[in-house]
Amino acid sequence: MTAPTEQEIRAELNRRVTDYPHDDPREPLKEAIDAWASILTSPAYDILESPDPRDEGDDSTELWADLRPSEAIVLRRLATEAIDRVFERCQELVTEEVVAAALAFAAEHPDAPRPQREPVPA
């Protein structure tokens, strides 16, 4: 028995994400990032999409209120770009850390049992 290679570990991570879309581990990550970024997306939503405009007496603690539609469009674009960048960086970070942990385990326990599979093409 040989320890898995980095390529095999990465292939398994990718398989887990692509073969099980109903259990996609990225969904909760995306939702958390979206929630965190609501400081940007909520004011834009309020102006561009909300069917229920705010009351004049709304004492919201948001950073922006009563944006012009052109400003809301820019804010939404910038928020979306930031969310996309964060999501990509988070996926990269999680992948790198999981691969590093798997490689450390493989180095420490090279003979640990593994299922028999076709080798990953080089």
Tens-place pLDDT, residues 62-121: 788 788 899 989 999 999 999 999 999 999 999 999 999 999 999 999 999 888 766 656
> Does some domain include residue 77?
yes
Q: Measure the CA–CA gap between 89 and 85, rounded to whole angstroms.
A: 6
| Tokens found for residue 22 | 């109903």
Q: Measure the CA–CA gap between 60 and 47, rounded to whole angstroms.
A: 14
> Does some domain include residue 8?
no
> Does some domain include residue 119?
no
Binning the chain into helix, strand and coil, the percentages to the nearest 5 are 65, 0, 35
The predicted model scores a pTM of 0.74
For residue 93, give its domain range. 26-53+62-108
> Does some domain include residue 92?
yes
> Does some domain include residue 31?
yes
Per residue in 9-48, pLDDT (tens digit) is: 999 998 888 887 777 888 899 999 999 999 888 888 888 8
**pLDDT value of position 91:** 92
> Does some domain include residue 40?
yes
> Does some domain include residue 16?
no
> Does some domain include residue 15?
no
Q: Measure the CA–CA gap between 45 and 28, rounded to whole angstroms.
A: 21
Contact 107, 3 (CB under 8 A): yes
Q: Per the structure, how many domains does the chain have?
A: 1
